[in-house]
Every structure is written in C-alpha cells, then in structure tokens.
Structure 1
Amino acid sequence: MKVEQLYNRFAPFYDPFRTLWRKLAAEGMEDFLERELLPRYLPQEGIILDLGSGTGANLKRLDRLRLGFKGYVGVDLSQGMIAQARKKSRGREGVSFLRADINRLPLRDGTFDLVISTWVFSHLKKPQRVVEEGLRVLKEGGYLILLFWKRASFPFNVLAWPFELLFKFKGVRKEAWEEFGERKMIKEFKAGVLIMLEKGDSKHKNK
C-alpha cells in the first residue's frame, strides 16, 4: 500500500496516534519549536506554508500559541488528511488546505514568510527537492523550519519501530540532511533533528 493510500484510510483515526507519538518521542522537539522558534520567526501578519500538513496539527499549534498571522496554507498529498483538516477549520478566514505534491508545489515564488514541515521528511525519497521547493516559495529573508525523525539509536529505534512499520517511514540519514546546505540553526535531539534555513543565504540564492 502506498503512503498516500495508507493515510487516506487512517485519516479519521490519526489524531489519537499523533498524540501518543508526541508523548513517546516528539514532545521535547515540538516544545522547542513552540517555545523558541515560532514566536521569534513568524512575523506579525505573516503568511505560513505547512508542508505535509496532515490533519492540521501545526495550525492548532499556532492557535494555541496565539500567534497572529495573515494567512495559512496547508499542503498534503492525502485527500483523507486534507478532508479532516478542512472539517476542523471550516469557515476560518485566511486558512486553506490544498491537496498537492510537495515535491512540485503549485505555488508562486516568494509568497510566504515562513515555511514549516514537521514529521514529513522521513517519508521522502529526495528530501533535498522539497527543501528547494520550500525555499523557492519563501520571500527573501523568510525562514524554512524542518522537524523530522532521524536514524535513531537504542532505545529510540525500538520505540519507533511500531510507528515506522504502521506509518511507512524511516529515519532520515545524516548524509541526507547535511546536503540541505548552509543552515541558520540545527538542533539534534535523541529521536530527531530540527533544522532552520534562511532564504537569501549565499548557497540558496539561485535555488
């Protein structure tokens, strides 16, 4: 079964599993994202792109932090996940969800102030391609924030095994995320990695 088909079927039941995932492996990483990065790097009245938005967990995160933003676009390949996200955000002004391939975004260059992607890169064969797309649609001086599962060591590899099997993902190799180019920030956790890139860095100007 393809990843898209898996998430289409699993979409109505995804949120409880995500809560369990956060408690077991992701809490410290997501707390750092919420405490240190989003309040600092999301400008007032900014426009946000969420790559692999799922059922809208990052939108809920932004609401919980009470960060003012002008617009939010969530992109996901799974129609089932998009349907769940739209149901939860129905009627909200400035919020939209789009079914599309994040490797080939149907979006204009230089549109967004902040691009975020959480727990998506472990599903990708070529994560560098998505990095390039994220930088393309960023405004000059904007930020791309990536949070993803890495190749974990014991005991996290044992802990992650059921999730990897169920959700069809594998930790991203260090050699892969070192290819993302010059990073404004990188922070490694026991189970994952958080990377931030800035649009306008010399190595990304011609992407």
Structure 2
Amino acid sequence: MGPTGVPIVSWNEGEHLYRVGSDRFLKRWDDARGRFLLFKNDQPVSVAEWNQAVNRAHPMAQKSAHPNPLIRWVERQRFRITERLGDCPARRILDIGCESGQVTARRLGGSGLSLLADLDSGMLRENRRKNGSAAAIPAMAANVTRLPFRDGSLDLIFCTEVLEHLERPEEAVGELARVLAPGGRLVVSVPNDRWIVAIKTMLKRLGLRGFLGPLSDDLAMGHIQLFSAGTLRRLLQGPFEVRRLFLSFPFRLNFFAVGTKSTDKGAGR
C-alpha cells in the first residue's frame, strides 16, 4: 500500500504532530476514510518510511534507560510479565520485533533453538550490542507478514509491542499462526493507548509534563493501530484460541494475551 493512509481501530483526536531533528511528522485522522494519513514535511509517506523514522527517533530502549525510575520499573514489569507468559515447554522460539532480545535470552536458559527477528536490521544490531546476553542468539531482519520459516516449525513466539505499528495486523497474526506448530504458544502485548493518552493529558494539566522526559506527551508517534481488549481478542481469535487476555497491573498500560494455535482445519492464513 502506498502513502494513502493506514486502517485503524477507532480514533477521533484529529492531528498528532512530531518533530525529529529538522523533519516534521504528522498523523492526521481522516474521519471519512476511518484511518490515519501519514505525512513527513507535508508530503504523504508510506508506513515503511514512517516506521523507519519512528525506530530511529523513539527506540523502545528509551523506556529502559528513562531518567524517571517509575517508568524504568514499569518497563521491567512488562518484560517480567512477558517472560512469565512464555514459561512453557518450548525449544524452538522466535522473538519478533525483539527490541534488545533480553526476554528471549532469559527465557532460553542456554538450551534449545532461539531466533531474534526485527524489520530494522540496524536497530537490531545496535540493541544486541547493548545487551550482551542476547548477542549469542541468532538474529535476522524479517517482515512479520512474510517470515522465512516452514509451516509449523516453531513452538513459542513472542510478539510484544509490534501489532500497533502494522498496517495490516491481521496478516501478521495469520503468518504467526502459520509458522507455529499445532498447540504452539503466542505471547502478545500491545499498549493500552487510550488510557496512556488520558494519563499523559492529566500530567500536562497538572504541570507535570517533565515526568515523561523524552517520551511523547500525546499518542506515541509509531502507533497507527489502537487496541482495546475486544479488538485484540477478535484479531487473535480464529488462528488462535485465546487462553488469557488481561491488562497489566497496577497501571493498566498494556494488554497481554496468550494464544495457542488453533487445530481447526484452515486456521492460520
């Protein structure tokens, strides 16, 4: 798809403006089309161009190294929950959109086959360099909608903070189902953006914008899909049997879901 816009669950907040160096990025909600339109310096851009700028300007590592200790704690909690949800018998593991690879490095425990994959090869190399525990895990640049694996070749997939960046998340879910073995486990997380934006708005009104540090004070730049519990469940159902779906505690900033690959004929793509 070209620079015509991005389907989205639902949002009616108008425009979101971001500045990265000398460049001006804008997400403009088109109510008639029911989607965001993406612009760089007033010119339409594709999702791929947008996401590349996002990865460079706002890497996930910002939260792990944030000057605010509460935000660092929240990010550690997200990793702990993800790791716990992946606690199952599995030897063939994929971490898609792997950030630094630390969840998989800890989950692997020195045995089995594990792979890290991210669309941005430059960011993948940089994050692995910073996280020595993941440096020994094979890594590749890969598109989540076209994974280079055989059908049913994996036991466990982590897909955390990825789906909100995708133009067609349903294609990604179908592809993850394809490469998982029957009964294989998928661990997903997505941000609870409506609640996050409400918290940011409250902080700004109270004069506490500094609490956020380098983080955006409105809808995060890279999020072109917005999820609720219901929309996440509907996205996963079919290819997967949703075993758990819940909000993180205590701040409710992320939805987490665990699915097992459906054994129904035709499930997946």
1:157: Cα distance to partner?
4.6
Given that 1:47 and 1:113 are in contact with CA atoms closer than 8 Å, whether structure 2 keeps it comes out as yes
State the distance in 2 between where 1:116 and 1:163 align.
28
Partner residue of 2:104? 59
Does residue 183 in structure 1 map to residue 225 in structure 2? no
Deviations 1:51-108 (A, max 9, x none): 1112323234436xxx35311111111122121245355872xx21111211211221
Given that 2:191 and 2:227 are in contact with CA atoms closer than 8 Å, whether structure 1 keeps it comes out as no
1:176: Cα distance to partner?
3.2
1:26: Cα distance to partner?
3.9
Partner residue of 2:255? 193
State the distance in 2 between where 1:57 and 1:166 align.
23
The residue type paired with residue 197 of structure 1 is G
Structure with the larger helix share: 1
- Check 1:25–1:123 CA distance in 2 against 1; reply closer, same or farther (3 A cut): farther
State the distance in 2 between where 1:151 and 1:203 align.
35
1:10: Cα distance to partner?
6.1
Deviates more, 1:20-29 or 1:181-190: 20-29
Partner residue of 2:63? 17
Given that 2:95 and 2:115 are in contact with CA atoms closer than 8 Å, whether structure 1 keeps it comes out as yes
Deviates more, 1:179-188 or 1:78-87: 78-87
TM-score for both structures, normalised by structure 2: 0.61
Given that 1:8 and 1:78 are in contact with CA atoms closer than 8 Å, whether structure 2 keeps it comes out as no
- Check 1:198–1:157 CA distance in 2 against 1; reply closer, same or farther (3 A cut): farther
Given that 1:121 and 1:127 are in contact with CA atoms closer than 8 Å, whether structure 2 keeps it comes out as yes
The residue type paired with residue 222 of structure 2 is K
1:129 is paired with a residue of what secondary structure?
Answer: helix
**What's the RMSD between the two structures over aligned residues?**
3.1
Does residue 47 in structure 1 map to residue 92 in structure 2? yes
Given that 1:184 and 1:196 are in contact with CA atoms closer than 8 Å, whether structure 2 keeps it comes out as yes
1:183 is paired with a residue of what secondary structure?
Answer: strand
- Check 1:69–1:129 CA distance in 2 against 1; reply closer, same or farther (3 A cut): farther
- Total equivalences in the alignment: 196
Given that 1:52 and 1:120 are in contact with CA atoms closer than 8 Å, whether structure 2 keeps it comes out as yes
State the distance in 2 between where 1:163 and 1:59 align.
30
Given that 1:51 and 1:117 are in contact with CA atoms closer than 8 Å, whether structure 2 keeps it comes out as yes
State the distance in 1 between where 2:107 and 2:119 align.
22
TM-score for both structures, normalised by structure 1: 0.76
Partner residue of 1:162? 216
1:171: Cα distance to partner?
6.1
State the distance in 2 between where 1:188 and 1:176 align.
14
Given that 2:182 and 2:263 are in contact with CA atoms closer than 8 Å, whether structure 1 keeps it comes out as no
The residue type paired with residue 81 of structure 2 is F
Partner residue of 1:202? 264
Given that 2:85 and 2:258 are in contact with CA atoms closer than 8 Å, whether structure 1 keeps it comes out as no
State the distance in 2 between where 1:97 and 1:105 align.
13
State the distance in 2 between where 1:71 and 1:194 align.
24
Percent of aligned pairs sharing the same letter: 21
Does residue 172 in structure 1 map to residue 226 in structure 2? yes
Which blocks of at least 5 consecutive residues in structure 1 are unaligned? none
Does residue 122 in structure 1 map to residue 170 in structure 2? no
Pick the structure with greater CA Rg. 2
- Check 1:91–1:162 CA distance in 2 against 1; reply closer, same or farther (3 A cut): closer
